[in-house]
C-alpha cells in the first residue's frame, strides 16, 4: 500500500495544513497525520488535544484513508514503523525552504529509503501560520477561514483561554 506520513507540530492544524492533506490523500492510499510530541516547544495545545482535533476533522470530512497519531523521536523511524516510504511537507514560500532543505538532508542521511515529497501552498494560504492563528485567537480575533470549519469552534474557544 502506498503510504505516507504527514508530520508536524499542528499547533493548531490550519487550513493550509488541510490543503496539503487533501493533496496527499489524492496521491497516497494511506496517509498518517503524525503529530510531533514536542513538549520542548511548549505547544499551546497538548498532543492529545491536537490528535483529537485532527481526528474530529477527519471524521467530519469522511477522510477514510487518513490515520491520525502522534510520535516521539526521529521522524524517519516513525515513518518506518508505520510502513511509510514517503514523508509529506508543505512549502509556503522561500522562508520555508532553508529549514526544509536542512531537515531533508538530515533525514536523507538517516534514511535514504524514505523520500520527502513537497506540496506548494496555494497562494491564498501562503501567509498562514499556526503561530499567527494562535496570536489572533488568544486576542479574541476571528479565525474563521484560517482553520478547518469542523474544528474552528474548538480551536477558538481553547485559544481564548490560553
CB-nearer residue toward ligand PNS: 7 or 137: 7
Q: Site residues for ligand PNS, window 5-24 (CB under 6 A)?
A: 7-9
Q: What minimum distance in Å lies between the beta carbon of 140 and ligand PNS?
A: 25
- Assess 103 for contact with ligand PNS (CB under 6 A): yes
Q: Give the one residue of 53, 107, 143, 148 binding ligand PNS; rule: CB under 6 A.
A: 107
Our CA dihedral for 14, 17, 21, 24, rounded to 10 degrees, sits at: 170
Q: Is 106 in the site for ligand PNS (CB under 6 A)?
A: yes
Of residues 20 and 25, the one with the C-beta less far from ligand PNS: 20
For the chain, counts of helices (H) and of strands (E): 6, 5
How far is it, in rounded angstroms, from Cα 10 to Cα 99? 17
> Is 84 near ligand PNS (CB under 6 A)?
no
Question: What residues are annotated to the active site?
Answer: 17, 41, 92, 130
> What is the DSSP pairing of strand 3-8 with strand 86-91?
parallel
The residue to which cell 482553520 is assigned: 147
Considering only residues 111 through 140, tell me which ones interact with ligand PNS, judged by CB under 6 A: none
State which of positions 30-49 bind ligand PNS (CB under 6 A).
Answer: 36
8 Å CB contact between 34 and 5? yes
How far apart CA 158 and CA 151 sit, in angstroms, is 11
Which of 44, 140 has the CB closer to ligand PNS? Answer: 44
Amino acid at each position: 500500500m502506498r503510504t505516507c506520513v504527514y508530520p508536524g507540530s499542528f499547533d493548531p492544524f490550519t487550513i493550509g495544513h488541510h490543503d496539503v492533506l487533501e493533496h496527499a490523500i489524492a496521491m497516497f492510499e494511506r496517509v498518517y497525520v503524525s503529530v510531533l510530541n514536542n513538549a520542548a516547544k511548549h505547544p499551546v495545545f497538548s498532543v492529545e488535544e491536537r490528535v483529537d482535533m485532527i481526528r474530529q476533522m477527519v471524521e467530519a470530512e469522511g477522510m477514510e484513508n487518513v490515520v491520525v497519531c502522534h510520535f516521539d523521536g526521529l521522524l524517519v523511524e516513525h515513518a518506518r514503523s508505520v510502513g511509510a516510504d514517503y514523508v509529506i511537507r508543505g512549502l509556503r514560500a522561500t522562508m520555508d525552504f532553508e529549514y526544509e532543505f536542512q531537515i531533508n538532508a538530515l533525514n536523507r542521511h538517516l534514511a535514504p529509503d524514505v523520500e520527502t515529497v513537497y506540496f506548494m501552498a496555494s497562494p491564498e494560504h501562503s501567509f498562514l501560520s499556526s503561530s499567527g492563528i494562535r496570536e489572533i485567537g488568544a486576542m479574541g480575533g476571528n479565525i474563521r477561514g484560517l482553520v478547518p470549519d469542523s474544528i474552528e469552534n474548538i480551536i477558538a474557544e481553547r485559544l481564548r483561554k490560553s
